[in-house]
Amino acid sequence: MILLNDERVANVTCIDNKEEMLSLREIHKDVLIDESRSQISSKSDLFCYAREGVINILKKAADSLPRGYQFLVKEAYRPLSRQKKSFTEAFESYKSEYPFKDDDEIY
């Protein structure tokens, strides 16, 4: 397992590959979308959108599932603002939980 604070993660360069964002709805009989949004905080209508390459990989994985199994997607796309808010909320929670650790240790 690699944690998010691992320098290998921090050193990954992110480049917009200009892939189209597509809906995960009805891409495969064994890929279901949780339209209730009961366990996510995103209000974005794009919550079930992913890059075309991700969708292709998910369809291939669904083809390989044992009979009777399905994927249930809770959330795919999260706007950057939501990601930043989630990070800040978790960071503040850890600061409360570990008051004797400095910010660098928590980060």
Running DSSP on this structure, what letter comes out for residue 27? Answer: S
Digit-by-digit pLDDT tens for the chain (107 residues) are: 677 677 887 788 888 889 999 999 999 999 999 888 877 766 778 889 999 999 999 999 999 999 999 999 988 887 777 778 888 888 899 999 999 999 888 88
End-to-end CA distance of the chain, in Å?
A: 17
| pTM of the model as a whole | 0.66
Let me know if 24 is exposed, middle or buried by CB neighbors in 10 A (0-12, 13-18, 19+): buried
Cα 66 to Cα 89: distance, rounded to the nearest angstrom: 38
Residue 76: predicted pLDDT? 86
Q: Rounded to an integer, what distance in angstroms lies between the CA atom of residue 89 and that of residue 97?
A: 12
Q: What pLDDT is recorded for position 74?
A: 87
Q: Is 37 exposed, middle or buried (0-12, 13-18, 19+ CB in 10 A)?
A: middle
